[in-house]
Amino acid sequence: MRSKTLSTGYKMPMLGLGTVNFGEGKTYPALRAALKAGYRHIDCAMMYDNEAEIGQAIADAMKEDGIKRSDLFITSKLWNSFHKPEDVRGALEKTLADLQMEYLDLYLMHWPVALKKGVKKPTSSADYYSLEDVPLMSTWRELEECFDEGLVNTIGVSNFSTHKLEDLIMEARVAPAVNQVELHPFLQQNELRSYCLHNNIAITAYSPLGRGIPADLTEQQKQEVVLAHPVIEEIAEKHDATTSQVVLKWAIQNGIIVVPKSGNPERLAQNLAALACDLDEHDMSRIAHLDKNHRFIPGDEYFLSGSPYTWENLWDEPRPE
């Protein structure tokens, strides 16, 4: 498995398994299938409500299939309602207990958004803390402590703009090694990628395939779906590959780590096989021209009336019209 060496010296596999929204009873079999197929990088989060199932699947695979903990790269994320410094350690300990692990390979701050304790999804302005109330730096200091204690090998962030990374790095004792963001051919994040490359911050792409393919698309509608876009389809046909393989390999050839989600054994194998698909310069150039700065996950739940968060201060850019 191809990997990227992080600023901490640890190697992170370039292709992992996303674990959000498998559905009730589907997480455990999906994890067992993925581990059997060869996946060793698992991307988790407390917010996904399935870390206990993931932990059991990994424990059983280690017992029955001879997989070692040292073979695995396990990521999890601190949810927004645990940003107060006194809450960070408890959230991490809950994740470790659910995953049946003594340490994480990578722990990320899930969003640069602070919610009141117990809030999973905000429903009113009373559910938020502003970043003046709970500064990102105060949360980061606690992550640094967890890093110092060996509870996590590497710390990072998710959904951070270039501006927020700049502010964090200016004060951080331990710089973030990873920034996980939405990234795909329709949202290529070129400025952010350049900044991260210059500052030795690896980028992980969530939703690297965009959204799924609805049935019966018109030719015009295909222009709005990453996996059905005519350019992606043409490149896939040229390489005798699936459109998913093309999109994943485009990211990997750009040095981006990807964590697509699937519980389907055939799809799991196909996604792994993307590593063997080599795109040429012309392919890469054609895909580069598909960028339209389009977010499928814009964070709208944080922009409720009265919220201290807006599109502009979350993403540090104007909202597209």
pLDDT at 176: 99
Exposed/middle/buried for 154, CB within 10 Å: 0-12, 13-18, 19+?
buried
Which residues define the annotated binding site for substrate?
Answer: 110
Q: Which residues contact 283 (CB under 8 A, 6 or more apart)?
A: 235, 238, 239, 246, 250
pLDDT score, position 320: 85
What are the tens digits of pLDDT across the range 184-213?
Answer: 999 999 999 999 999 999 999 999 999 877
pTM for the structure as a whole: 0.96
Q: Which stretch of 92-96, 174-178, 216-220, 317-321 has the lowest confidence by average pLDDT?
A: 216-220
- Res. 321: pLDDT tops 80: no
What are the catalytic residues? Answer: 48
Residue 260's region, left for phi above 0, alpha for psi from -120 to 50, else beta, is beta
Q: Determine the length of the chain.
A: 321
Indicate if the alpha-carbon torsion angle 313, 137, 204, 50 is positive or negative.
Answer: negative
Tokens of 240: 């005798």
CB 110 within 8 Å of CB 47: yes
User: Considering the chain, what percentage of its residues have pLDDT values greater than 90?
Assistant: 94
Q: Could you tell me the domains of the chain?
A: 3-213+245-315 (3.20.20.100)
Which residues, including other chains, have CB under 8 Å from residue 44's CB and lie 6 or more apart?
Answer: 19, 50, 51, 54, 74, 75, 76, 77, 95, 99
